[in-house]
A and B are shown apart, each in its own frame.
Chain A
Amino acid sequence: MPIVRQAVLVPEKPFGFEHGTLLAIRLKHTMKHTSRNIGRFRLSVTTSAEPRYIAQVPARLGPALEVPAAARTQKQKDDLAALYRSLAPLLQPTRDRVAELEKSVKGLGIVTAMVMGERQSFERPYTYLRIRGSFLSKGDKVYAGVPSVLYPLPESQLPNRFGLAYWLVDENNPLTARVSVNRYWEAFFGHGIVETSEDFGTQGERPAHPELLDWLATEFMRQGWSMKAIKRLIVTSSTYRQSSRVTPELVERDPYNRLLARGPRFRIEAEMVRDNALATSGLLSTKIGGPSVFPYQPEGVWDRPYSEEKWALSEGEDRYRRGIYTFIRRTSPYPSLTTFDAPSREFCTVRRVRTNTPLQALTTLNDPVFFEAAQALAKRIMADAGPEESARAVYGFRRCVARRPTPEELDRILVFYRAELARFQKDAKAASEVVKGYSGPSTDAPQLAAWAIVSNVLLNMDETVTKE
């Protein structure tokens, strides 16, 4: 980028000759880097006594100054006013204040993101085919375009990013809306109408309900691509509001629920498993945005050759942020997320495979993050649910699964609670370990410990980590 600079050279003493003066100016370009030398320069000479003031007026504004004030165009007036504001000594305090404010805005550490832009060029952007994927074997030169099997680029559009954007949302292009609504559907039902939500091509699965997919896609476009509207449409449908209960007959006829005769039921995703435990217990920070955070992770997970980087545990609420804010390093991803099938970001993954493993059980039972959630839930139970044991049990249960326990379930929880309470009343050491960090009256410790163990169980129920 060229930088506009100027130099004003003032002679120590005025000089000049009676019959005119010839000035010879010699520029010596001695920089080694030719690109850093002066280019496209302008030389001006004046007889003014104060040339520095004249130099403050950029050359491009010269013509504006020569026009009488009343005859100036609005642009010229604006330019001159802006120049005046940048120079007038009277406005110095205001300028200082502006500079100060700008500096303090910078100090806020607002994160900026780099965004891809199209390179300005006279030539169409191109690249080369690489034969068999090898970067060393160059094939034909190719230009940007859209897949020829699909709807062609509209006549009025250029084959650039802008044209692509138009093409993507052109009403003749069925794919964008179909792929989008299919992903929303997948999020709600556990699988898309097209099961291979990442692949609508020849290698993908056929849609289970092609008409439904097309109708949703056209509705999406008709409602101005409103995600809120399409999601409302899905969640208020009678299909979505069905019970998740399965009968042997249903399982026999449709084991994977492709025909949607019942409501969805599936384990929530890795990040949600974390968020759910933190939200249920009241620990979750709802802070939005900002740099990634470092919640608790066991020692030694980050131990790599030629790297001094350490997992620096975040302070305060940053420990309890939503799972999506967790710092991910591909070679050592956050274990509690990968255990629940979060990808390690090596591939762009649209659809996650769901597994069910003992390592998941160990995580939600014993990971300090999850045990802390159990302790926090216990505190809420004691603080918010009154003194009655059964009311407390109901409250904890409802916080986890949003329904009341059946009488049998409630009974079973209370029997367990009373047994554990008796245990902790006898074993003060165990109680104080379970409620570590608790600073209330010590007579409450056994109760709190027993509720923490109950909460640990409630947070591990299949129903707690399952959407149904």
Chain B
Amino acid sequence: MKEIPVNPLQEMLRAVTRRHFFKQAGFGIGAAALSSLVNRYAFASGAGAATADLAINAVNPLAPRPPMFPAKTKNIIYLFMAGAPSQVDLLDYKPKLQELDGQNIPESLVKGERFAFIKGVPRLLGSPYTFKKCGQSGAEISELLPELMKVADDIAIVRSMHTTQFNHAPAQIFMNTGHQIIGRPSMGSWLTYGLGSESTDLPGFVVLVSGENQPDGGKACWGSGFLPTVYQGVEFRSKGDPVLFLTNPEGVSPELRRQSLDLLKDLNESHLKSVGDPEIVTRIASYEMAYRMQTSVPELMDISKEPESIHKLYGTEPGKASFANNCLLARRLVERGVRFVQLFHRGWDNHGTSAHDDIVNRLPKLCQETDQAAAVLVWDLKQRGLLENTLVVWGGEFGRTPMNEERARSKFLGRDHHPRAFTMWLAGGGIKGGVTLGQTDEFGYNPVDDPVEVHDLHATILYLMGLDHTKLTYRFQGRDFRLTDVSGNVVKKLLA
């Protein structure tokens, strides 16, 4: 058997640095010294010099760790448009498609193609919407996104995205974990594993869900896969407890909780003295952080104290579950040092089987629900000076066909799933604003210039965070896994 070099980060995680704890804190530590130690959840200096660059101390595996090289951004807000928005109606302007509306698509394009629902040779469907050249960059944006137009020079539009999956669940799982089958760690898990989190009283990876329902890919979209569960996304729910079991049981006041946690701490410290296991220190600290979360999370979720002007801009209403509220919460989360905030808004699956899922009635409604808040988020981050340290990503799991689906001769206009080409936009955090990257053919069917695959996007996002996607690995079942599997190239043209 040959010696395998062990991933140093993983080695640290495996059993945390107990030795350093003992060196630093001394053994048989008095209760007073101990409680001052655990007062701050992260005592980052606890790690010794030998492993300082990858220090994960005994108490907090989420303590911030330096990136592999200087990062362009510290935080990410990922606006995941679950259901897959139509690129040709929003961000990929195709005059030729409008001109040939209603004609059969050239057979050469669709020969041998498999669609989710389309049968036979489908007919082209020109966008019923007009596009405008916006800002100094002249980026072409649909009339459905009037607010996005206002930040056109801050965003980079990628029109040449493509994926391998054409059903929602696997495509969402692929977009989030780099693999179409559930079980791999999600992007947010990789990032918090690699970088930790700067927040001491909130999780490092927070998920907010709005829209019709949960994304098709389920909780695997923010799962930690084979990484320790400490790196999984924590869903802040808009109904009930924002974090599961955050609220004390009925009859247990905050004061009573504090007193019972004091008793718990005393009992745990007493046992620490007799068995000496530093894991007990971790346990004490995790209860203290839980207690802090009981205050910090409701405080975070309560947007009622935001000024009226902000509510107007975002379109937020305190107490309501909406994408707008989640955008505002996302800003509040990155302000508090949360590393990765991911929003899911489900509803973009506009097949055109009825007025509830077509591009004439439903699509404008979805844009109304999301355009303003998403654009204002970029604006608001910028005016607060947060945009340079925050990467904002917007996009779905695949695109939609330039052809009308006409399922069962439906009279409603709609589009089928289309993995070959779709559009996303990115802003802030090291992204060059005003760029439109990539070209699709005259119908918007295939990328012709600068194609960007999902792993390229992942590699770019990790790069912006100061991580080399080929080196951020975790050994599992005998293999070093990574978010980008065996591919991925940083898209240099997007970088500022």
Contact between A356 and B286 (Cβ–Cβ < 8 Å)?
yes
Q: Which of these, B15, B223, B234, contacts A255 with CB under 8 Å?
A: B15
The CA-CA distance from A245 to B279 in the complex, in Å, is: 12
In this assembly, does A303 line the interface, its C-beta being within 8 Å of a C-beta of chain B?
yes
A26 to B143, CA, bound (A): 77
- Establish whether residues B251 and A416, one from each chain, have CB atoms under 8 Å apart when the complex forms: no
Contact residues in B for A353 (Cβ distance below 8 Å): 226-229
Query: How many cross-chain pairs have Cβ atoms below 8 Å apart between A and B?
Result: 223
Does residue A346 face the partner (Cβ distance < 8 Å to B)? Answer: yes
List which A233-249 residues lie within 8 A (CB) of chain B. Answer: 244-248
Q: Which of B71-79, B151-159, B255-263, B309-317 contacts A (4 or more CB under 8 A)?
A: B255-263
Per-residue interface assignment for chain A, residues 7 to 38, with 1 indicating a CB less than 8 Å from any chain B CB and 0 otherwise = 00000000000000000000000000000000
Interface membership of A199, Cβ < 8 A: yes
Question: Quick one: closest B residue to A249, CB to CB?
Answer: B27
- Residues of chain A with a CB closer than 8 A to B169's CB: 331
Q: Which residues of chain B have C-beta atoms less than 8 A from A245's C-beta?
A: 274-276
> Is B214 on the interface with A (CB-CB < 8 A)?
yes
Q: How far is the CA of A311 from the CA of B8 in the complex (A)?
A: 42
A457-B260 contact, Cβ under 8 Å, with A245-B274, A304-B218: yes
Q: In the complex where A203-B4, A457-B260 touch, is A434 in contact with B283 (Cβ < 8 A)? A: no
Complex Cα distance A245/B213, Å?
Answer: 50
Q: Min CB distance, B477 to chain A, in Å?
A: 7
* B216 adjacent to A305 (CB under 8 Å): yes
Q: Per-residue 0/1 for B138-181: is the Cβ within 8 Å of any A Cβ (1 yes, 0 no)?
A: 00000000000000000000000000000011000000000001
Interface string of B231-272 (1 = CB under 8 A from A): 010100101110111111111110011011001101110110
Determine whether A252 belongs to the interface, using a CB cutoff of 8 Å to chain B.
yes
Contact B277 A303 (CB under 8 A): no
Which B262-301 residues have a C-beta within 8 angstroms of A?
263-264, 266-268, 270-271, 274-280, 282-284, 286-287, 289-290, 293-294
Say yes or no: is A251 at the interface (Cβ < 8 Å to chain B).
Answer: yes
Residue B413 lies at the interface, judged by CB distance under 8 Å to chain A: no
A313 shortest CB reach to chain B, Å: 15
- Which chain A residue shows the least CB distance to B220? A331
Could you tell me if A371 and B249 are in contact, using CB atoms closer than 8 angstroms? yes
A331, B203: Cα distance in complex, Å: 21
The minimal Cβ–Cβ distance linking A348 to chain B, given in whole angstroms, is 9
A368 to B227 alpha-carbon distance, docked (Å): 28
The tally of residues in B whose CB lies under 8 Å from a CB in A reads 82
User: How far is A339 from B203 in the complex, measured between Cα atoms in Å?
Assistant: 13
Q: Is there contact, CB below 8 Å, between A462 and B239?
A: no
The docked-state distance in angstroms from the alpha carbon of A412 to that of B266 is 8
Interface residues of A in 139-155 (CB under 8 A from B): none
Q: B385 contacts the other chain (Cβ, under 8 Å)? A: no
- Check A303 against B270 for contact (C-beta < 8 Å): no
Question: A255-B19, A365-B290, A463-B271 given as contacts; is B263 within 8 A of A457 (CB)?
Answer: yes
User: Among A115-123, A224-232, A317-325, A425-433, which stretch is in contact with chain B?
Assistant: A425-433
A419/B259 contact (C-beta < 8 A), A300-B240, A341-B229 known: yes
Across the interface, name the chain B residue whose C-beta is closest to A206: B1
- A341 to B259 Cα, complex, angstroms: 29
The 8 Å CB contact of A358, one of B212, B280, B287, B479, is B287
Known contacts A247-B27, A356-B283, A362-B290: does B251 contact A433 (CB below 8 Å)?
yes
- Is the beta-carbon distance between B263 and A199 smaller than 8 angstroms? no
Residue A359, interface by CB 8 Å: yes
Determine the residue in chain B with the shortest Cβ distance to A348: B477
Contact code string A303-315 (vs B, CB < 8 Å = 1, else 0) = 1111000000000
Binary contact readout B202-227 vs A (1 if CB under 8 angstroms, 0 otherwise): 01000000001111111110010111
Contact: A265 with B277, CB < 8 Å? yes
Is B482 in contact with chain A by the CB < 8 A criterion?
A: no
Whether, in the assembled complex, A179 has its beta carbon less than 8 Å from a beta carbon of chain B, the answer is: no
Please give, as numbers and ranges, the residues of chain B lying within 8 Å of A339 by CB-CB distance: 229, 244
CA distance A229 to B259 in the complex (A): 47
- Contact between A357 and B245 (Cβ–Cβ < 8 Å)? no
Whether the pair A461, B268 counts as a contact (CB closer than 8 A) is yes
Q: How far is the CA of A429 from the CA of B253 in the complex (A)?
A: 12
With a CB–CB cut-off of 8 A, which chain A residues contact B234? 359
Interface size on A, residues (CB 8 A): 81
Q: Which of B245, B251, B257 contacts A432 (CB 8 A)?
A: B251
Chain B residues with CB under 8 Å of A204's CB are: 1, 478
A368 surroundings in chain B (CB, below 8 A): 249
When each residue 40-74 of chain B gets 1 if its CB lies under 8 Å from chain A and 0 otherwise, what string results? 00000000000000000000010000000000000
Q: Does A409 contact B (CB under 8 A)?
A: yes
Report how far A304 CA is from B218 CA in the complex, Å.
Answer: 7
> Considering the chains assembled together, what is the distance between the CA atoms of A266 and B279 in angstroms?
8
Q: How far is the CA of A409 from the CA of B293 in the complex (A)?
A: 28
Complex CA distance for A463 and B17, rounded to whole angstroms:
21
Tell me the complex Cα distance, A346–B477, Å: 13
Across the interface, which residues of B come within 8 angstroms of A423, CB to CB?
A: 256
| Contact B214–A251 (Cβ < 8 Å) | no
Q: Does B331 contact A (CB under 8 A)?
A: no
Q: In the bound complex, do residue A304 and residue B213 qualify as a contact, i.e. CB atoms below 8 Å apart?
A: yes
Q: What are the interface flags for A360-371 relative to B under an 8 Å C-beta threshold, 1 for contact and 0 otherwise?
A: 111101111001
Q: What's the Cα separation between A406 and B2 when bound, in Å?
A: 50
- Closest CB in chain B relative to A274 CB, distance in Å: 13
Instruction: Give A468's nearest chain B residue, CB to CB.
Output: B275
Q: Does B18 contact A (CB under 8 A)?
A: yes
In the complex, A413 has a CB within 8 A of chain B: yes
Q: Which A193-234 residues have a C-beta within 8 angstroms of B?
A: 198-199, 201-204, 206
Contact at A461–B279, with CB atoms within 8 Å?
no
- Structural contact, A362 and B279, CB atoms closer than 8 A: no
The minimal Cβ–Cβ distance linking A412 to chain B, given in whole angstroms, is 5
**A267: interface (CB < 8 Å):** yes
Contact B220 A330 (CB under 8 A): yes
Known: A248-B22, A362-B246. A300 touches B239 (CB 8 A): yes
The reply to whether B244 and A416 form a contact with Cβ atoms under 8 Å apart is no
Note all chain B residues with C-beta closer than 8 A to A432.
251
Interface residues of B in 314-349 (CB under 8 A from A): 346
Chain B residue numbers with a CB within 8 Å of A330 are 182, 218, 220
Q: Determine whether the beta carbon of A462 is less than 8 Å from that of B280.
A: yes
Q: Which of A305, A341, A360 contacts B346 (CB 8 A)?
A: A305
Interface: A256 (CB within 8 A): yes
Select from chain A the residue with minimum beta-carbon distance to B82: A305
Contacting residues, chain A, for B276 (C-beta < 8 A): 245-248, 251
B214 and A265 contacting across the interface, CB-CB below 8 Å: no
Q: How far is the CA of A347 from the CA of B274 in the complex (A)?
A: 39
Which B residues lie within 8 Å of A338 (CB)? 229, 232
**A357-B18 in contact given A365-B290, A461-B271 (Cβ < 8 Å):** no
Q: A366–B247 contact, CB under 8 A? A: yes
Task: Please state if A298 and B213 are interface contacts (CB–CB under 8 Å).
Answer: no
For the complex, give the distance between the alpha carbons of A406 and B270 in Å. 9
Indicate whether A365 sits within 8 Å of B22 (C-beta atoms), given known contacts A199-B478, A305-B214, A356-B279. no
The verdict on A357 contacting B259 (CB below 8 Å), with A246-B277, A247-B27, A335-B244 known, is no
Cα(A406)–Cα(B274), bound, Å: 11
- In the assembled complex, the Cα of A456 lies from the Cα of B276 at a distance in Å of 24
Q: Given contacts A245-B275, A363-B244, is CB(A252)–CB(B286) below 8 Å?
A: no
Chain A residues positioned under 8 Å from B213 (CB to CB): 303-305
Contact between A267 and B266 (Cβ–Cβ < 8 Å)?
no
Q: Tell me the bound Cα distance from A256 to B277 in angstroms.
A: 11
User: A412–B263 contact, CB under 8 A?
Assistant: yes
A420 within 8 A of B: yes
Contacts of B274 in A (CB 8 A): 245
Indicate whether A416 sits within 8 Å of B250 (C-beta atoms), given known contacts A244-B277, A304-B213, A461-B271: no
Q: List 7 A-B contacts (CB under 8 A).
A: A331-B220, A344-B223, A371-B249, A416-B260, A419-B259, A420-B260, A461-B264
**New A-B contacts (14) at CB < 8 Å, excluding given A246-B276, A453-B256:** A246-B275, A248-B22, A255-B18, A256-B14, A298-B241, A298-B244, A304-B218, A330-B182, A344-B182, A346-B181, A356-B286, A463-B267, A463-B268, A466-B279
Query: Across chains A and B, which 6 residue pairs bring their CB atoms closest together, nearest first?
Result: A331-B218, A433-B251, A203-B478, A346-B183, A361-B290, A434-B251
